[in-house]
Amino acid sequence: MLLTPHTLVGASIGASTNNVSLIIILAFLSHFILDAIPHFDWGTWHNYDSNFKLEKKDYILLVTDVSTAGILLFWVWTKWDYNIYIVLGAFSAVLVDLIDNVPFWKRWMRQTSFGRFIHKIHTFVHYKIKPKYWYWGVITQVLIIGGCLCFLID
């Protein structure tokens, strides 16, 4: 799943309660639930565990996704009078990818028992859509983003 749906689901969880522990736990777990849904992401083009080389389309997707997530999160955050729980939920929802997929430290993290555990669960639940069906993976994410925005902006 791309960063934007994870961010908005986490923000929705943060907007739903002011219980910090509940936000962190639910948003963190939401990552695994979303990754189990058919979706499009870098894994559609690449094998995450191999040392693939980023291509132009990867950089375009990365910049577009991170920018969209950031802009939408900031917009929602301002609509909710700068509610810090929204940012906490968003951060907690993307934490799995930060731990498991960031190239700068993923090898090191996966050598720790916690990192191995997260990677094992992340890999197990992650739905890998076939490249020829990439559009179905986009549709699921658009629906998730739309649902979250309806909840957060209403």
The C-alpha atoms of residue 7 and residue 48 are separated, in whole angstroms, by: 21
How far is residue 113's CA from residue 94's CA, in Å, rounded to a whole number? 20
Question: The whole model's pTM is what?
Answer: 0.89
Distance in angstroms (rounded) separating the CA atoms of residues 134 and 57: 14
pLDDT digits (tens, 9 = 90+) for 104-115: 887 888 889 998
**CA Rg, the chain, in Å?**
15
Q: What span, in angstroms and rounded, lies between the C-alpha atoms of 56 and 72? A: 24
Which has more confidence, 111 or 29?
29
Closest CA to 44 of 5, 7, 3, 2: 2
Instruction: Tell me the domain boundaries of the chain.
Output: 3-153
